[in-house]
């Protein structure tokens, strides 16, 4: 795929068109990720009611380790799909066939390596856990490839079905296995089963085939583009893993379990909403870049930045303000201390999301993804040092604060460095509106933050959404008043 010049002719479609396209796709991906995401949230109270903090720490470390291995070994294939897939049908078939063959090659290497490891006497006692980890790794990597092909084809509804299958198995079968005494490995088995079923269901819809031979030139292009991103994601996973391991080492396994529950729930809440925006905007911006040039690609990315803030800021503020109610409703009593670190974790998740889903794209558009590796490697080293400094002094708060400082530094450096290669828009007016609306919402909720209960939390969230939405409409965020008038006019017509 040829590079496009950084500056080209003006696109024929205007900002409003790009905003509507990104907005409509964002709604679809919010459903596609939100529905299974809400189902997955059920796992937190269900699993913590059956697992002690120390056991949950083992489960969290295992999931994070598998995710890091997936990032390092397979995600370069997934990341290349949206950016490198040809538009024409023949090129698409050859490309997808190449994707599958690359996955088969890496999977064979993983299985052979695990088999060799099991021949070592010291590793043999961990045989069942290693085999389960390999099964989860292979299922997760293929699941992500299948769903990424659906995203590249702009088919969010099929994307949602597969995620619902995965989430249903994770929650339902995972809870059943825990009740039957499977321990912390039960959810791992459940998620592997769910992703395998989802892959089987989605195989035909993605028209994946191994028919055409591998396209070596395309494989080299994918490797050059995707491997740096894959290593970057793996290093980010190591940041999360380092937090948990150092908390366990310096404070204890129970503390690591409490930290993991707060981190998993809060980060998933904020990131789930932000990733839906990125999943909608990035493929549109890539197509604009490849067909019309850099100026056309910047318009959907301006909407991307605005919507990331519009969703991420209130989610982070709401999670921080309502932390006592969230912990009381969603977590078992043994995890009550998690409420104290949720505000910092929410802020760290917001910063990490802005970096990953907006500022990182400057290096992805310019195909300088290898530079992301050095940025995140620096963040990993900084995070380790900050944890060693802050955990002994501040406990769990120190670990959460280390994440905030790490991602703040990584975001600022990425934003500055990325502008050297691709100028990403970051609309100041929309940023100011979102920050003001989020502040008003937070101030309205603060007097009621110590009130707890399912209905109370539901009422707090509803009130917060209403207050936030009213401020956005009053200040006409992204022209929302015009959109509402047109929608009401269409209803009356």
Is residue 183 classed as helix, strand or coil in its secondary structure?
A: helix
Instruction: Examine the fold and report which residue of 426, 452, 484 is the final residue of a domain before the chain moves on.
Output: 426
pLDDT one-digit tens code per residue, 323-373: 999 999 888 888 889 999 999 999 999 999 999 889 998 888 887 878 888
Which of 311, 192, 272, 234 shows the shortest CA–CA distance to 79?
234
Same domain flag for 336 and 438 = no
**Structure confidence at residue 21 (pLDDT):** 47
Q: In this structure, is residue 2 part of a structural domain?
A: no
**Cα gap 293→282, rounded to integer Å:** 14
Same domain, 146 and 290: yes
In a domain, 5, yes or no: no
pLDDT of residue 6: 32
Which is nearest to 276 in space by CA: 85, 490, 28? 28
Which of these ranges, 340-344, 360-364, 436-440, 463-467, has the smallest mean pLDDT? 360-364
pLDDT at 16: 41
Going by C-beta distance under 8 Å and a sequence separation of 6 or more, which residues neighbour residue 385? none
- 196 contacts: CB under 8 Å, gap ≥ 6: 139
User: Do residues 141 and 160 share a domain?
Assistant: yes
User: Is 6 a domain residue?
Assistant: no
Q: Is the pLDDT of residue 58 over 80?
A: yes
Confirm if 177 and 190 have CB atoms less than 8 A apart.
yes
Cα distances (Å, whole numbers) of residue 296 to 292, 361, 396: 6, 15, 45
Residue 269 lies in a domain: yes
Q: Is the same domain home to 329 and 448?
A: no
Buried b / exposed e along 311-328 (16+ C-beta atoms within 10 A): bbbbbbbbbbbbbbbbbb
Q: Domain check: are 475 and 387 in the same one? A: no
Residues 322 and 435 in one domain: no
Q: Which of 426, 443, 460 is the last residue of a domain?
A: 426
Q: Helix, strand or coil for residue 121?
A: coil
130 located within any domain: yes
Which residues are within 8 A (CB) of 408 and not within 5 positions of it... i.e. 6 or more apart? Answer: 351
Residue with tokens 């908390």: 247
Question: Does 313 fall in a domain?
Answer: yes
Residues 453 and 342 in one domain: no
- Phi, psi angles (nearest 5°) of residue 201: -70, -35
What does the alpha-carbon distance between residue 160 and residue 36 come to, in Å, rounded to a whole number? 7
249 & 230 share domain: yes
Check residue 86 and give its pLDDT: 67
**Range of 26's domain?**
15-426
Query: Over 70: is that where the pLDDT of 31 sits?
Result: no
Q: What pLDDT is stored for residue 22 in this prediction?
A: 52
Structure tokens at 412: 């600022």
Residue 136 pLDDT greater than 90, yes or no: yes
Give a yes or no: residue 7 inside a domain.
no
CB count in 10 Å sphere of residue 148: 22
10 Å CB burial of residue 347 (0-12, 13-18, 19+) is buried
Looking at the structure of the chain, the number of domains it has is: 2
> Does one domain contain both 451 and 355?
no
320/449 Cα distance (integer angstroms) = 10
Return the H-helix or E-strand segment holding 435.
Answer: helix 428-445
Backbone angles phi, psi at 81, to 5 degrees: -65, -55
Specify if 66 maps to a domain. yes
268-323 pLDDT per residue, tens: 888 877 887 777 777 778 778 878 888 888 888 888 899 999 999 999 999 999 99
| DSSP summary character for residue 453 | S
Contact 78, 148 (CB under 8 A): yes
In whole angstroms, how large is the CA radius of gyration of the chain?
Answer: 22
Give the mean model confidence (pLDDT) for residues 135-159. 83
pLDDT value, residue 380: 92
pTM (predicted TM-score): 0.74
pLDDT of residue 173: 92
Q: Which residue has the higher pLDDT, 340 or 2?
A: 340
Distance of CA 83 to the CA centre of its chain: 18
Count of C-beta atoms within a 10 Å radius of residue 254: 19
> Mind giving me the DSSP string for 185-242?
GHHHHHHHHHHHHHHHHHHTTTT----SPP-HHHHHHHHHHHHHHHHHHHHHHHHHHH
Q: Is the pLDDT of residue 485 over 80?
A: no
Q: Which pLDDT score, from 0 to 100, does residue 90 have?
A: 63
Phi, psi of 425 (to 5 degrees): -75, 145
Highest mean pLDDT among 260-269, 420-429, 462-471: 462-471
For residue 210, pLDDT beyond 60: no
Domain's final residue, options 410, 426, 442: 426
Residues 437 and 364 both lie in one domain: no
Cα dihedral 141/146/152/158 (nearest 10): -130
Q: Which token pair is 235? A: 């290093």
- Do 420 and 492 lie in a common domain? no
Tokens of 231: 């290593």
Judgement on whether residues 51 and 140 belong to the same structural domain of the protein: yes
């Amino acid at each position: 795929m040829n590079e496009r010049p950084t500056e080209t002719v003006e696109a024929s479609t205007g900002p409003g068109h790009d905003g509507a396209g990104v907005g409509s796709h964002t709604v679809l991906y919010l459903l596609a990720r939100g529905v299974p995401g809400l189902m997955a949230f059920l796992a937190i109270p269900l699993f913590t009611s059956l697992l002690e903090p120390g056991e949950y720490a083992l489960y969290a470390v295992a999931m994070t380790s598998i995710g890091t291995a997936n990032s390092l070994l397979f995600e370069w294939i997934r990341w290349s799909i949206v950016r490198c897939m040809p538009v024409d049908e023949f090129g698409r078939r050859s490309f997808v066939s190449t994707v599958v063959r690359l996955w088969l090659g890496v999977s064979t290497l993983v299985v052979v390596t695990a088999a060799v490891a099991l021949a070592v006497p010291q590793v043999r006692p961990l045989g069942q856990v290693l085999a389960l980890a390999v099964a989860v790794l292979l299922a997760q990597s293929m699941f992500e490839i299948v769903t990424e092909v659906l995203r590249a084809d702009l088919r969010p509804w099929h994307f949602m079905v597969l995620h619902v299958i995965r989430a249903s198995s994770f929650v339902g079968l995972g809870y059943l296995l825990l009740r039957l005494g499977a321990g912390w490995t039960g959810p791992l088995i459940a998620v592997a089963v769910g992703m395998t079923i989802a892959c089987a269901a989605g195989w035909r819809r993605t028209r994946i085939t191994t028919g055409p031979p591998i396209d070596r030139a395309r494989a080299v292009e994918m490797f050059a583009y995707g491997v740096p991103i894959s290593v970057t994601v793996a290093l980010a996973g190591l940041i999360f893993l380092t937090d948990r391991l150092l908390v366990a080492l310096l404070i204890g396994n129970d503390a690591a379990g409490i930290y993991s529950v707060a981190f998993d729930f809060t980060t998933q809440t904020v990131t789930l909403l932000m990733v839906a925006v990125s999943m909608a905007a990035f493929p549109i911006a890539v197509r604009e870049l490849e067909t019309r040039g850099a100026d056309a690609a910047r318009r959907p990315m301006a909407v991307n930045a605005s919507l990331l803030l519009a969703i991420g800021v209130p989610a982070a503020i709401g999670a921080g303000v309502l932390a006592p109610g969230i912990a009381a409703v969603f977590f078992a009593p043994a995890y009550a201390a998690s409420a104290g670190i949720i505000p910092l974790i929410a802020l760290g998740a917001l910063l990490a999301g802005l970096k990953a889903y907006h500022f990182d794209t400057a290096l992805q558009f310019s195909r300088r993804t290898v530079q992301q590796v050095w940025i995140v490697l620096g963040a990993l080293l900084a995070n380790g040092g900050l944890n060693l400094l802050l955990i002994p002094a501040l406990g769990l708060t120190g670990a959460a604060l280390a994440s905030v400082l790490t991602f703040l530094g990584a975001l600022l450096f990425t934003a500055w460095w990325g502008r050297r290669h691709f100028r990403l828009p970051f609309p100041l007016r929309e940023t100011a509106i979102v920050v003001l609306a989020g502040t008003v919402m937070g101030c309205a909720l603060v007097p009621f933050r110590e009130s707890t209960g399912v209905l109370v939390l539901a009422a707090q969230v509803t009130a917060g959404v209403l207050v936030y939405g009213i401020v956005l409409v009053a200040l006409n965020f992204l022209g929302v008043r015009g959109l509402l008038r047109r929608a009401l006019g269409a209803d009356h017509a």
